[in-house]
């Protein structure tokens, strides 16, 4: 199935991408891909090291005639988001991604594709291996765990890199040059509750919310897509107020950086109300479909009778939990007053798990203003503490402050205009790129991020545009040629 991808142009780059996708590489489980990259660098006979965090650095001298150019860093992250459709039978720990070509797009069969950030990694590998591509001396920096904490970038020490300009290949629109990004912090609320066994004369049911579009919790948050955790909570509170249902369990969402696409809850309902539950679910599904017809056209709410009895939440705690989740901020919190159309601060209510006396609520809070990021995190903390939750902040990382006057920004924006007869969009983004973190230990380094068109990142709908990769590739190669000469 992946053979068709290997025949695409530029062939060397697509073959490296296919090789990467044969290696499982989930965040925090990058051992196999780290070893793959170490062996790759050594096979090329280039200086190859792994730092204490697990980041891989491969150094390559300048090509002939480029020796006087400023040394640079080419950087992408090794890990990818592992997501699959509910009806897809796939083991990410054992299987390589099954890719296919669909017109002008490369997709995966029911899973995330890994174009984020595999295209960037494959691009750097191609330059490392090439004997014909013109380039200055460079450090190839392959970081780990970008998607779930950026711990690779956070733990990269100073003094390991020789480059003075960093090209980050992790942007998802081929007409954009990104020069700033949001920081983030993980907010986790946990606690326990006293459960009881379901009383007699009840029906036991499973409610499923599926078919949402999902997507990247930073780049796609402005699109107003449905959040399965919020939708499920809305259904459960309405069902409690109407029928007095009790909840046995809730299992919604998966990763902090993915907008939740699915949620499942098991409930009990008094027998006298059973006949009314089906029409109620149908009615609320119709209501939700009307609200979400543009953003989530495949939204589905289903009801299935299952076996009982079940352990259920006591009603006193249940109503507190439902109202707490209703109150928790989700989506855009504030738009930037300084940069047009930029989301400044947001929250993704990414994971809700309630089962067997324990609950966990996970969020990813983002902002390009660090003080506002923590203000929203504290707002969430206050909300969760109202039900007695223990709240932790972890994995906080800084944003990347834009420097529009940097020399590399002018070089690349002028080059884009020259090549494509239109101006590039020079902007900041609401995703968490590693540049801001890397800049803490390399404060004088100029940085910019760019890449091809990738859609549906962090969801099984992820795809990368073939013609856009070809456009990006030509721009990337010409950029390498335009790196200025060193003044020293």
Going from the N-terminus, what domains does the chain have, and what CATH number goes with each?
3-182+399-482 (3.40.630.10), 185-397 (3.30.70.360)
Least confident of 155-169, 307-321, 341-355, 382-396: 307-321
pLDDT at 487: 79
Tell me the chain's radius of gyration from C-alpha atoms.
24
Is the pLDDT score of 106 beyond 70?
A: yes
Q: What's the mean pLDDT in 287-307?
A: 97
The β-bridge relationship of strands 300-305 and 202-210 is: antiparallel
Q: Is the pLDDT of residue 488 over 80?
A: no
Enumerate the active-site residues. 79, 146
Per-residue pLDDT reduced to its tens digit, 42-90: 999 999 999 999 999 999 999 999 999 999 999 999 999 998 988 899 9
Q: How confident is the model at residue 401 (pLDDT cuts 50, 70, 90)?
A: confident
pLDDT at 451: 98
For residue 432, what pLDDT is reported? Answer: 84
Pairwise CA distance, residues 139 & 320, whole Å: 53
pLDDT tens sequence across 145-159: 999 889 999 999 999
SS3 category, 194: coil
How much is the average pLDDT of 158-173?
96
pLDDT of 92 higher than 70:
yes
| Cα–Cα distance, 204 to 305 (Å, whole number) | 6
Chain mean position to CA 61: 33
Q: How high does pLDDT run on average in the chain?
A: 95
CA 477, 38, 147, 385 torsion: positive or negative? negative
pLDDT at residue 149, as a whole number: 82
pTM for this structure? 0.79
Check: CB of residue 190 under 8 Å from CB of residue 393: no
Crossing angle (nearest 10°) for helices 315-327 and 370-385: 160
In a 3-state reduction of DSSP, which class is residue 447? strand
């Amino acid at each position: 199935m992946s053979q068709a991808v290997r025949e695409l142009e530029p062939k060397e780059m697509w073959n490296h991408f296919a090789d990467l996708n044969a290696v499982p590489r989930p965040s925090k489980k990058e051992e196999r891909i780290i070893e793959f990259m170490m062996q790759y660098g050594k096979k090329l006979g280039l200086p190859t090291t792994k730092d204490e965090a697990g980041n891989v650095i491969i150094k390559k001298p300048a090509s002939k005639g480029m020796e006087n150019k400023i040394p640079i860093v080419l950087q992408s992250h090794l890990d990818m988001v592992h997501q699959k459709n509910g009806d897809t039978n796939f083991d990410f720990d054992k299987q390589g991604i099954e890719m296919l070509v669909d017109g002008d797009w490369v997709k995966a069969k029911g899973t995330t594709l890994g174009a984020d950030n595999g295209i960037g990694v494959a691009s750097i590998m191609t330059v490392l291996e090439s004997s014909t591509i013109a380039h200055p001396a460079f450090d190839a920096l392959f970081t780990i765990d970008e998607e779930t904490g950026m711990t690779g970038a956070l733990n990269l020490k100073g003094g390991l890199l020789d480059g003075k300009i960093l090209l980050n290949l992790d942007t998802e629109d081929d007409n954009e040059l990104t020069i700033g990004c949001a920081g983030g912090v993980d907010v986790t609320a946990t606690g326990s509750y006293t459960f009881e066994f379901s009383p007699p004369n009840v029906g036991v049911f499973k409610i499923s919310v599926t078919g949402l579009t999902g997507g990247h919790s930073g780049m796609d948050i402005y699109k107003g897509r449905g959040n399965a955790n919020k939708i499920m909570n809305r259904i459960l509170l309405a069902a409690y107020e109407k029928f007095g249902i009790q909840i046995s369990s809730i299992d919604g969402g998966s990763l902090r950086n993915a907008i939740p696409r699915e949620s499942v809850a098991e409930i009990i309902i008094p027998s006298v109300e059973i006949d009314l539950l089906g029409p109620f679910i149908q009615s609320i599904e119709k209501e939700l479909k009307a609200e979400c017809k543009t953003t989530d056209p495949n939204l589905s709410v289903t009801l299935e009778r299952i076996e009982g009895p079940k352990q259920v939440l006591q009603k006193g705690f249940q109503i507190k939990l439902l109202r707490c989740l209703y109150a928790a901020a989700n989506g855009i919190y504030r738009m930037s007053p300084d940069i047009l159309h930029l989301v400044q601060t947001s929250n993704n209510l990414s994971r809700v798990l309630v089962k067997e006396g324990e609950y966990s609520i996970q969020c990813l809070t983002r902002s390009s203003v660090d003080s506002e990021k923590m203000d929203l995190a504290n707002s969430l903390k206050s909300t969760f503490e109202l039900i007695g939750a223990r709240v932790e902040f972890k994995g906080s990382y800084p944003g990347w402050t834009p420097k529009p006057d940097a020399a590399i920004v002018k070089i690349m924006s002028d080059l884009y205009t020259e090549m494509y007869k239109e101006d590039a969009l020079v902007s900041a983004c609401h995703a968490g790129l590693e540049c801001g973190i890397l800049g803490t230990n390399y404060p004088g380094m100029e940085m910019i991020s760019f890449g091809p068109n990738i859609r549906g990142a962090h969801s099984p709908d992820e795809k990368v545009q073939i013609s856009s990769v070809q456009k990006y590739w030509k721009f990337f190669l010409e950029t390498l040629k335009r790196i200025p000469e060193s003044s020293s």
